[in-house]
Every structure is written in structure tokens, then in C-alpha cells.
Structure 1
Amino acid sequence: MSDNKLDALKRYFGYDSFRPQQSQIIDTVMENRDCLVLMPTGGGKSVCFQIPAILRQGLTVVISPLIALMKDQVEALRGNGVNAAFLNSTLSSAEQDQVMWQAKVGELKLLYIAPERLFSGNTFEFLREWNVCLFAIDESHCISSWGHDFRPEYRQLTNLKLRFPDVPIIALTATADRVTRRDILKQLNIEHAETFIASFDRPNLNLSVLPGRKRLQQIQSFINKHDGQAGIIYCLSRKGTETVAASLRNAGFKAEFYHAGLAADKRSKVQEQFLRDDIQVIVATIAFGMGIDKSNVRWVIHYNLPSNVESFYQEIGRAGRDGSPSDTVLFYSYMDIITRQDMINNSDQSAEQKELLHAKLNRMKQYAEADICRRRILLSYFNEAVEKDCGNCDVCRNPRTRFDATIIAQKALSGIARTDQKIAMGMLIDILRGSRNRNVLQHGYERLPTFGVGIELRGEEWAEYISQLLNSGVMDIAYDEGHSFKLNPVSRQILKGERKVELVKFIPISERKAKEEELVPKEKPKQEIIRDALFERLRILRKQMADALGVPPYVVFSDATLSEMAQKKPVSEAQMKAVSGIGAEKFRRYGETFINEILSFAKENTKPGTRVIKGMTYIETLDLYKEGYLLNDIAQKRDLSTVTIISHLVKLKEDGHDIDLKGLIDKKAYQTIIQAAQEIQTSKNDPLKPLFELLNEQFDYGQIRLALAIWEEER
């Protein structure tokens, strides 16, 4: 199985190795076992079910709420040589019938379908005729009322396991805390499924929070520093998207807005333009989202504060999906909090749900106001332990004053432990400060050893420090248990004195001064200038090919693949296939065209004494060979020996170029050299001098090397 899955990864996706946990997840699915997969956006979730879909007999049904995303994923799969289709409301009746027929006769490996389409008509009944071998449930957090994007239609998925008990289920999500994870497993009837939690760390994302003043001016300055790079701006309201987009267009940027109030054809057109790099900036509503699979988004800006950390993390995750460095900016003002609170209070949600939404909003507020590493806050929210600061957020670049807060942490954790982990923020502060209010006395908490041990700190100080402890992963919170605090392994280490805690010193709000920070991209070293110029050439070529094929540019190659191509400058099939993201099908479709572009760039930019690409001297020999020049003529034109030219041609042959080595040597000479080589059992990798001497120096080293290369190829 290991060889098969690696072969499929290289052949269809162009990668030589799996990311962490992908291999184990694939093995689990191949063994017909259910599993829950948590990976950040851009972390490689799709490969976890696409590889099994390719390897298994039968149809893999992918259930996803993101209709716009289906088309992109299917196009990408087809571009890699995998038979895939989607079934949703954007297709005509005839097109839907065609897809269902393909599923029935076994022509498809993957079928993407929206949950509402799955449970409409007779689709669910047809599944029995389609030889379904795997259900992949994407965005599985939508099934949980504790998740940030609960969708009632997802609840029907509980029937899958009841109706298809022998078909494995792989549930996937990029954003789910511990409570949501438990609920996903329960709702899908796979409570004993193995859970795989990949690191949520996206080190390529630069995290920054800026004060929410003069936002449009700051945005224009930001985009100017990201010339030509695609980005998304998220706004709270539909009107906000239109206003921001209009302002950017007036400033000369290619920008459009996108929200649920637009006609479907208009939304589709705007998204298509953005996917195809015809628009640089798209301004979208946070609530509506976009569901895109565009890998070359280089930045994301939040014009307004998101309602929760899950949404925020998922939205910034749309940047840098290809792993290349990308920037994220959150504008923040206290008015954003007021607006969000009013939206929750005026909603039709139940009292319990409103309480949950307020708690999640408060965690988002803590992130925006944080004085500690922002990445640590995000990762600890998803219960991931973090040992050190990231160095790639605005707080790390401008560190605040820290102090040893181990005793403060021990007091707070002791209060949690002695109340059986059943209290929330307010009660904990009351206990630590020795407050004798009715709630404290009713539970008898005034008799606890921790009662009043924190009297030296004001309530707002305790609130700040407890928030920092929570955001640092020192403890957890259970939203489904009245937002009570829970101890974890880190908590217990601190209580035992086995671990120190550092916190940022509290500063009253009245003393804080707003600090504006300009995001200044690092200046590029001089040696990168040529690489970046080639990247731009390849990016233009990619756009031309994509337009001709009617697909988004990233379906041809991702930015990460283009960047590696510009760095390595492959000029042969073997070199091109060694670039990450280029498999057999991608090379067949695009390889030669991009090689020719790299060669053209090299010839245009090569000056005496410079070397734009490694091995340029070989390429000059190759060009003369292709023009029909004989061996001696090539040597004369290049002012090199025939031995050197032969070595060039042998190397070019090894790299996959079409070189007729046999046409370069006399047949009788070849036979004589090989007979001597067989006599002393030598090969092309052995020293040539013994063979040269055995042949009485009758043939030069070039002829010997040529003969041995031909012999090796034939063997």
C-alpha cells in the first residue's frame, strides 16, 4: 500500500512525500476505518481522501457545503488526470443526469455533492447503485451546533452510517475546538473513530492587528506594497464591501465586491474573474464567505472584527495555501465589539446560543487586544500546545514587557482545581479576590484555601491575566459546560512547580496608546532579482495558458510551484518533474512550454561572464545539436573540444532530452570499446583510464564515455 499511495501522490499531484499524518490517515481509510481529520486551511486535507479514492475500487462521494469550491476542486483533479465531477444546483437537468449516469457506470472516482442535493429527490437511493466505497464529509464542523458555521441540513448526515454501515466515513474540518470535535463524532455516529489532529500552525502567515482608523488609506498603502498580488478584504456588511471596492477602484486598483445580495450570475462572474487573476482584490462579506480554492492569495485583510476565532482562522487561511509567505491584517476598534454584541443580542438565537456566541466573540476580542504572541493564541484556541513565540506576528516583532507570573498562574489554576473545574471567569475572580457575594457563599467557596489569595490584584488585572493564561494554552475552556475552565497537562505541570509561566505586564486601558504599525515587506536581496523576473515571466505564461484552457491559473501550476521553477530553472523533463507539484500529467500538458520559456529567458538575460541558469552551456550545445550541426561543427562553433561536447550530449540525454547518441559514434568503434569494457568489467561510472590504456589510446575519452553511455542505456 505504501508504494501505491506514494506512486499516486507523485503521478497525480507531483509531490515526493506526504505531509505529517497524511500517510497514516490514508492507511486508516484504506483499512475501511472511520476517522476525523483536523487540518488547517491549506494543510492538505483533500489528499487524505483523494489518494484513497484513486486507489480504491468504487466511487468516493465528497459532501461539501461550498458549491463554488466544488468546481475548482473538480477542475484541479481533472487537470491532474483524475476522473471527477460535481452534482449541485448550478448544473442543468441534462448535466445532472449525465453526471449520475457516469457515477452509475463507474466512470468516476470522485463525486462532489452538496448535502441538500444529496437528500433531495432520489439521490440518496441512487447511492446504493453507485458502488460507493468512501464518504468524505468536508467542512464537518457544520454538523455541530457548537461549531461556528452550523448548518441544519448537515444533521441529515447522521443517516449515512445507519444506511451504509460498511462504508467508511472520513470527516474533515479546518476549525473545530475540543467540544465541536466530540459533537461531530456523535452526530455522524462514528464516536469511536480515530481522530487525527495536525498542527494548526501556518508559519508562512504573518499576523498583524492595526488600529481601525483611516482604514481605507492604510489598505491602499498596503496594496501598493503588494503590487500585482491577489488578496481578499473581508467586511461585515454588504454596503461595506461595495464602499471599499468602489474606493479601491477609484484609486486605480482592480477590485470588485462579492456578497449574498448579488445576483447568482454576477457573483459567479466576479469569482471567476478573481480566480483567473483578472481582478487583484475581492471585497467580500464575512458572513457569506467565498469557498474558494485559489492557492495564490498572498494576503487577507479583515476590515471588521470577525465574530469568532474559528471564522477568523478559516478566513486568514485562504492566504498562502501554497505555503508561500503571505500577510494577514485585522483592523480593530472597540466599536467593532459593540456592533457584534448588538448583532448577537438582536438575533433569533436561543439564550444558550447567544451566551455561546458572546463567549466566542470575547475570545476574538482577546486576540485583537493581545500583548502576547498572536500565533500562540490561535493555536491554543484549538488546544495545541506551543512552546515558544512565533516571531512572525506584530507582537513578536514589537515585544511587550514580561514578568514571571508562575505564582499568579498557580493561584488561578488552584482555584479551578479546588472547585472541580466547574467555574467560569467571573466566579474564579471572585474567589481569588475574596468576594463574599451570594454566589460564592451559596457554593461554600469562601471555605476554599484559595479564597482571597489574589486580593492584591484588581478584578481587571485578574481578567487580563486569566485571559492570557487561557490564550497561552495554560488551561482550556468548555463552552458546553457553562464556559467553565478545565485543567490540562500544562496546568498540572505548573501546579507541581515543574514549569514556569511568563505573562505580559498589565497596563490599564486608560494608559494604553494606540500604536500604528506599517507592514513593510522585506527588501529582496540582489541575487533574487533575476529569480523574481523569471517568476513574473512564468506567471504571465501561466495566465495565457489558463485563459486558453478556460481554467484558473493555479489549476495549471500553483505559485509555490512557479516559485520553485523560477529558483531551480529546470530545462529537462527529469529536472521539471523534480519540481514539487509537477506530476506526469502536468508535465505532459505544460512541461515543454515552460521549459522553452525558461530557456528563452536565460538566452535573453545571459551576458558574458554571467550564468542565469545552471547548465546554460549544455543548453547552448543542445540548441546547435537541434539545428542539425555535426559533432565537430558544434565543437568548433563553441570553441570547445569534442570530448567536452560529447560530455554535454551524454548529460542532456540522461536529463531526458531527445539525443541520438548512436548517431555520434562509428558502429565498429562502439563494438571495439564495449568488448574491451566487458573484458575488464568496467562501466560508465568507473575511471576511464584503464580502458583508455587497454585500447592502446586508440579512442579519446569522449568516444569511450559515449560508448559506455549507449551501452548503459541498452542494458
Structure 2
Amino acid sequence: MSTLTLARAADGTSGTPLDVLRTVFGYDAFRGQQAEVIDTVVAGGDALVLMPTGGGKSLCYQVPALVRPGTGVVVSPLIALMQDQVDALAALGVRAAFLNSSQQMDQRREVEAAYLAGELDLLYLAPERLNVPETVRLLQRGRISLFAIDEAHCVSSWGHDFRPDYLALAMLHDLWPDVPRIALTATATAATAAEIVSRLRLDEAAQFVASFDRPNIEYRIVPKDNPRAQLLTLLRTEHPGDAGIVYCLSRRSVEQTAELLQKEGIPALPYHAGLDAGLRQQNQSRFLREPGLVMVATIAFGMGIDKPDVRFVAHLDLPKSVEGYYQETGRAGRDGAPATAWLAYGLADVVSQRKFIDSSDGDAAHRRRLSAHLDAMLALCETVECRRVQLLAYFGQQAEPCGNCDTCTRPPQTWDGTVPAQKLLSAVWRLADRRQRYGAGHVVDILLGQQTERVVQLGHTDLTVFGIGTELDAGEWRSVVRQLLAQQLLGVADGYGTLMLTPGSTAVLKGERPVMLRREAPKAARSSASRRRSSSSAAAVALDGPAEAVFERLRAWRAATAKETGVPPYVVFHDSVLRQIASSAPTSLDALGAVSGVGANKLGKWGDAILEVVAG
């Protein structure tokens, strides 16, 4: 176990929160609401913290755990990442450990003994382990400073990542009524937050809701047109050599996409639940430790990933909820430098999601909940307003147009699509009148007057709607179908994606309801250089030529040090810290210690080596 830099007093405490922040973590001041949260927990109060990815949630429980006497118990679903989390704390001189199913018996006994001896500052547990009576009895024999329930949205059936083991965590209040609890999540609507409070019995907890805005992320949603080719263009023109995550809906798509990227010379790794557990862990470890890798994954990957230099998150399929989309895109740009959130979205996504909801095994309330999630996601995709404004409004936050999303930089046009909508709905109605239903492709062929073999064989050339839609091309008609599905003016009848009318269709057909549609803005060429110029105020420190050379030497030193110690490079130092060091060119340990992010333990461990690198 590492030795904590701050000595604890006789009562078990170790100075003020600001002392801990400066000495252990190397920062001069708290950000945003961190100080209020920490003061609440240090004083023994409960807290619910809603703070975006990269907003500094971990400090909200790590600092109080170091200030209060006893061991902070962190409940986290991230078994595969606990070792990395513990390694990062050890690099700071914090005495941390975990208990989970990946350990051998002797390893667990060593951790248990350290906990009982009061030699741990933080102990990480999976929620499943708290359901084991032996674990509860172990905790009752030691001294607990606080309980931190990370990824607290997992308790909510309204949220996007429900995990039933979280439901048992309400017992913490009964068994340890005097120990403060802090529940944290990077995303929660009012409904999710209310369920967290109810499920975890946090009715008296102070609630802290930070801004969900990530101004350095550029949100872009593009119409699907060979999405893998579109992804390749994105990576080659805007993100060559960058680390990133590509999300796919199915395991098969993950493997095919990763294989394609590899063939095209882009280093990519697959990750999904169907892979061997050892291979999944190996791929995750490589992504965290090696620069410039692309992880192609299902949503099984990403929670708790603390890699700061992910420059893009791409979705090849429509996410099922805005909360899921926000959580996944939030893994980009944790370091504050410019990053891209890119989504390819098309008609097939809407059809497949509607089919999934209609065939769900859940009750009517569950299907309504899924439908509400999808409706919100479709509204984000189809909006003509600022995407960031729409996204933040979902979480109850008002904002001004950002100037850093596709609808701000290339505003789409709106047009009166009432007549085309009536034509399309009329075609669906006339097919239904013949007791027939067909998918979008066949309906569009009828509207365009295409005498395909199928249209002719079925006798659909004699329909009154045959050939009445030549004012639009096939792509534009598919956009009309997609948007009518999004507005629930058109429905999906069965598992084959056939179209049907909805209760809202009648008002459109009768001319009682106008239909406004979105027309995509013309594509604009973009370069990596122009993207990087659209940086936010949180972007990285700019370096001149000599300082850039020092920065590259520091990166090389960090890579070697990380490999030697067996930790990801960012556990040694983030790029942002190395940039500050390169910019200020410290010549003494005191000057190096004044750099934000250089704590006492890292200064003592690596300070002399860093000064040698800076000196050249």
C-alpha cells in the first residue's frame, strides 16, 4: 500500500479539504460546486450530485474520504476498471484498494486486513458484493468515512443503464444511519433524479446540479449514406491518428466495422459482450494505454473510462435515448480540448427502433417509457435549432445557441411539407384499403412512378397516387418518411418495417394540420486544422516551437514511465499538465510543484526526472 502524503491527526482526520486538494491532487482551487458538495459530505450530510463527464465528480467523494476519519467505500459497477482507478489513486499517494470477483482469495484477505487495520483511505466495491452477507459483516467491523454510490443512474428504470443490484443499496441508510452517502451520475433528467432519491432513500440529501454543457464538443448529426464510408472520411480528414470510440448497435456490426478500419490502416479494436472476457479486458487496457487507437464497441463499453484525450465519439446507429447519447458522447474531450460527437442517422434507424419498442416484452408503461426516450432522441436529430440548446433543454437547462454544432455552423432550412406528406400518407392509405402494407421503398417507387417488376406485378401502377410525387427524388422522399415517423404521423405496422397510418395522420390528410420538414444544409468541406481552431476557452495551452519540443520530450518520458509502472499514460500526467510544464519550463522542484496538477506524491516520485527532461 502507498503512504498518504498527508499525515492524519489523532482523530483520524487529515487537514482541510483545500489542504488535501493542494497537497494530494496538486490543484489550487475547487471548480464549480465541488467545494459545496465536499463541505456537505465532510460535515456528515448526504448529497446527490449530477455533474457531466469530466466535471470532477470523483473529487467530490475522494477529498471527503481523505478528510474524514475512516475508509471511504465507493460502490461502482466498473469491475473491469477498478484496478486502473486504484492505480491512479496510488500514483497520488492515496491508500486505495478494491474487492471484486477478479481477485484470488489471498488478495481479498490482504485487502480485508488493510481495511480492518484502518490502512485504507478508499475501498471500491461492486454493488453485487454488498449483497453478500460476509461483505456487510466485514464493513461493520471497520470504520467507514462515507459511502459513494457512483453511476447512480443505474438505480433508475427511467434511466438508460438500469442495474437491479443497485436497488439493494437503500440498506446502507439502515445499517449505517450516521455515515454520509453521496450519489453521483454524469447524466440525469428530473425523472431519473427523482427515482435515484426514492430508490436510495436520499430524501434529505442536498442536491447539486452542475451545468451539463460541454462547450468543447461539436455535435454533428448527418443523414446516413453508407455510414462506414462516411466514418472513414471523418477519421481520415478530421481525426487522423486520434483516439476515439465508434458505437454500433450490434455485435456483428462492431466486428465488421473494426475489421474494415483495420484493413484501411486505422488501428481499431472490437469490444462487445460476446467476446471472451480476457480479450475484452485486453482491448480495453490497450485503448487506455496506447495512443491513437479506435475502439469499436456496443454500449457495453465506456462507463467510467477516464481517458482524457478521446478526440471523437461516433455513432453508426441511433442511440435509444438522449441520456445514453449524452453519456456516450461525453467520453470525448475530457481534457477540454476540441472534440467531435458525430452520429449517422437514417430511416432504417427509426423503423428498427419503433419495431423494437412494439415487440418489447415489457408492459404498456415500459413501452411508453421507451417511446418517450426515442421521441426525444428523434427530436434532437430532426431539430433545426441549435443541437446544444435542444440537448441541454432535455436536462432542464436553458442555453443560448452555441455556434459549435452543425445546425449553428450550417443551418438547415425548413419547408412546408404538407402536400408531400399528404401524398405519402394517401399512398399508404390506398394500399391499406386493398388490405396491403409495404415498406418505405415500395411506397416511394409508387410515388415516383417507377415501373419496377414488383410494382407492375402487384398492379400498383393503377393506383391514383402512382407517379404523383416526381417533384422529389428518392432520397428526399425517404427523408419525408423518416421525419413523418419521427413526428408520429406515420407508423410501423410489424416486424418487417411496413408502413401504417397513425391517429395523427387523419388531420394531415384532411388539411387540418400543416407539416413542416427539415431540409439538410449543403455539405461543407472541413479540415482537421479548421476543426482544431474551433476550440473552446477550455482548450489546451498553446505552445511555441521550443516549448512544443519540450512537450514532445515529456510525452516520450511519460510513455516510458507508464510502461515501466504498468499504468495508462494519463495516470502519470494528463497532456494538459505536460503542456503547462513545457510552457513554464520550471528549473526547480518548487517551481514544478506550483504547476496545477502536480501533487506532492508525484513531485517526490518524478520531479527530478521531469526537470531533467525540461532541461534537455
TM-score (norm: length of structure 2):
0.77
Map of 1:381 onto structure 2: 394
CA offsets per residue over residues 243-262 of structure 1, 9 Å max, x none? 11111111111111001001
Deviation of the 1:121 alpha carbon = 4.4
**Does the CA contact (< 8 Å) of 2:218 and 2:405 recur in 1?**
yes
Matches within 5 A, 1:341-352: 341-352=354-365
Q: What is the distance in 2 between the residues matched to 1:37 and 1:568? A: 35
Q: Secondary structure at the match of 1:122?
A: helix
What do the CA deviations read for 1:175-206 (whole angstroms, capped 9, x no partner)?
11111111111111121211000111111112
1:48, 1:586 → 2: CA distance? 21
Moved more, 343-352 or 8-17: 343-352
Residue 580 in structure 1 maps to residue 571 in structure 2: no
Q: Distance in 2 between matches of 1:530 and 1:332?
A: 44
Deviation at 1:141, TM superposition (A): 1.2
For 1:252, the equivalent position in structure 2 comes to: 265
Counterpart of 2:224 (choices 212, 219, 222) is: 212
1:283 is paired with a residue whose SS is strand
Aligned equivalent of 1:102: 114
Instruction: Report what 1:430 is aligned to.
Output: none
Which residue identity is paired with 1:578? A
Shift of 1:227: 3.1
Match of 1:360 in 2: 373
Return the match for 1:48 from 60, 69, 78.
60
Structure 1 residue 342 displacement after superposition: 2.2
In structure 2, C-alpha distance between the alignment counterparts of 1:293 and 1:226, rounded to whole Å: 20
State whether residues 115 and 142 of structure 2, in contact with CA within 8 Å, keep that contact through their aligned partners in structure 1. yes
- Match of residue 403, structure 2, among 381, 387, 391: 391
In the alignment, what sits opposite 2:47? 35
Q: Please point out which of 569, 588, 610 is paired with 2:585.
A: 569
Measured in 1, the distance between the counterparts of 2:395 and 2:52 equals 10
Aligned partner of residue 58 in structure 2, secondary structure: helix
Distance in structure 2 (CA, Å) of the matches to 1:527 and 1:289: 31
Do structure 1's residue 305 and structure 2's residue 318 form an aligned pair? Answer: yes
Stretch deviating more after TM superposition (574-583 or 562-571):
562-571
After TM superposition, the structure 1 = structure 2 runs for residues 257-272 of structure 1, keeping only pairs within 5 Å, are: 257-272=270-285
1:522 is the counterpart of 2:518? no
SS in 1 for 2:182: strand
SS in 2 for 1:76: helix
Does the residue aligned with 2:16 lie in a helix, a strand or coil? helix
* Corresponding position: 1:18 with 2:25: no
Give the Cα–Cα distance (whole angstroms) in 2 for the partners of residues 323 and 142 of structure 1. 26
**Residues 549 and 288 (structure 1), Cα distance of their counterparts in 2 relative to 1, 3 Å cut:** closer
Q: Report if the CA contact (8 A) 1:256-1:279 is conserved.
A: no
| Distance in 2 of aligned mates of 1:271 and 1:177 | 29
Q: 3-state DSSP class of the match of 1:6?
A: helix
Q: How much does 1:570 deviate?
A: 2.9
Q: Does 1:191 align with 2:203?
A: yes
Question: Contact 1:324–1:560 at 8 Å: present in 2 too?
Answer: no
Superposition map of 1:281-680 within 5 A: 281-287=294-300, 289-386=302-399, 388-400=400-412, 508-509=516-517, 512-513=519-520, 515-522=522-529, 528=544, 530-600=546-616
Q: For the residues of structure 1 that align with 2:91 and 2:153, how far apart are their CA atoms?
A: 29
Q: Aligned partners of 1:566, 1:334: CA distance in 2, in Å?
A: 49
Q: Deviations over 1:341-384 (max 9, x none)?
A: 22233332222111101111111111112211111111111111
Partner secondary structure for residue 274 of structure 2 = coil
1:345–1:564 CA distance, 2 compared to 1 (3 A)? farther
Query: In the alignment, which residue of structure 1 is the partner of 2:80?
Result: 68
Counterpart for residue 85 of structure 1: 97
> Deviation per CA, 1:568-613, whole angstroms, max 9, x where unpaired?
333332332222211111122222222222222xxxxxxxxxxxxx
Give the secondary-structure state (helix, strand or coil) at the position aligned to 1:522: helix
- Percent of paired sites with the same residue: 46
> Is the partner of 1:97 in helix, strand or coil?
helix
Which deviations, in whole Å up to 9, do the C-alpha atoms of 1:279-327 show, x marking residues without a partner? Answer: 6111110255454221221211111111101111111111112222222
Contact between 1:209 and 1:329, CA under 8 Å: does it hold in 2?
Answer: yes
Q: Report the CA distance between 1:218 and its aligned residue.
A: 2.7
One-letter code aligned to 1:512? R
- Cα offset, 1:127, TM superposition: 1.3
Gaps of 5+ in 1: 404-459, 468-505, 601-715
Asked whether the equivalents of residues 302 and 331 of structure 2 are also in contact (C-alpha less than 8 Å), the reply is: no
- Matched with 1:154 is 166
What does the per-residue CA deviation read over 1:646-686, in whole Å, with 9 as the maximum and x for residues that have no partner? xxxxxxxxxxxxxxxxxxxxxxxxxxxxxxxxxxxxxxxxx
Distance 1:334 1:531 in 2: 49
Match for 1:568: what amino acid?
S
Q: How many angstroms apart in 2 are the aligned matches of 1:401 and 1:274?
A: 40
Offset of residue 112 of structure 1? 0.6
In structure 1, C-alpha distance between the alignment counterparts of 2:271 and 2:285, rounded to whole Å: 11
Question: In the aligned structure 2, how far is the partner of 1:174 from the partner of 1:8?
Answer: 24
Structure 1 residue matching 2:311: 3-state secondary structure: strand
Deviation at 1:54, TM superposition (A): 0.6
Count how many residue pairs are aligned between Structure 1 and Structure 2.
Answer: 501
Query: Structure 1 stretch 176-185 or stretch 211-220: which is displaced more?
Result: 211-220
Following the alignment from structure 2 to structure 1, what is the Cα–Cα distance between the partners of residues 176 and 99?
20
2-side partners of 1:79 and 1:518: how far apart? 44
Q: Is the 8 A contact 1:286 1:306 kept in 2?
A: no
Give the superposition deviation at 1:519. 4.2
CA distance in 2, matches of 1:179, 1:538: 46
* Counterpart code for 2:559: K
Cα gap change, 1:394/1:578 in structure 2, threshold over 3 Å: closer, same or farther?
A: farther
State the one-letter code of the partner of 2:203: E
Once residues 516 and 28 of structure 1 are traced to their aligned partners in structure 2, the CA distance between those partners, rounded to angstroms, is 50
- SS of residue paired to 2:52: coil
Distance in 1 (alpha carbons) for counterparts of 2:128 and 2:51 = 25
Q: Do the aligned residues in 1 keep the contact of 2:412 with 2:521 (CA within 8 Å)? A: no
Structure 2 spans left out of the alignment, 5+ residues: 1-12, 416-479, 488-513, 534-541
Corresponding residue for residue 656 of structure 1: none
Q: CA 1:250–1:594 in 2, change beyond 3 Å: closer, same or farther?
A: same
Change in 2 beyond 3 A, CA 1:68/1:519? farther
SS at 2:213 equivalent: coil
Deviation at 1:106, TM superposition (A): 0.8
* Deviation of 1:560 (Å): 1.9
Higher CA-based Rg: 1
Query: Alpha-carbon deviation of 1:145?
Result: 1.6
Distance 1:10 1:400, change over 3 A: same
Is the deviation greater in 533-542 or in 193-202?
A: 533-542
Give a deviation string over 1:438-469, Cα, whole Å, max 9, x none.
xxxxxxxxxxxxxxxxxxxxxx9xx99x99xx
Amino acid of the structure 2 residue aligned with 1:251: E
Q: Deviations over 1:541-574 (max 9, x none)?
A: 2111100111100000112212323333333323
- For 1:512 and 1:353, locate their aligned partners in 2 and report how far apart those are by CA, in whole Å: 33
**How well do the aligned residues superpose, as a CA RMSD in angstroms?**
2.5
Note the C-alpha offset of 1:211: 2.0
- Aligned residue for 1:383, secondary structure, equals coil
How far apart, in 2, do the equivalents of 1:370 and 1:352 lie? 27
Counterpart position of 1:674:
none
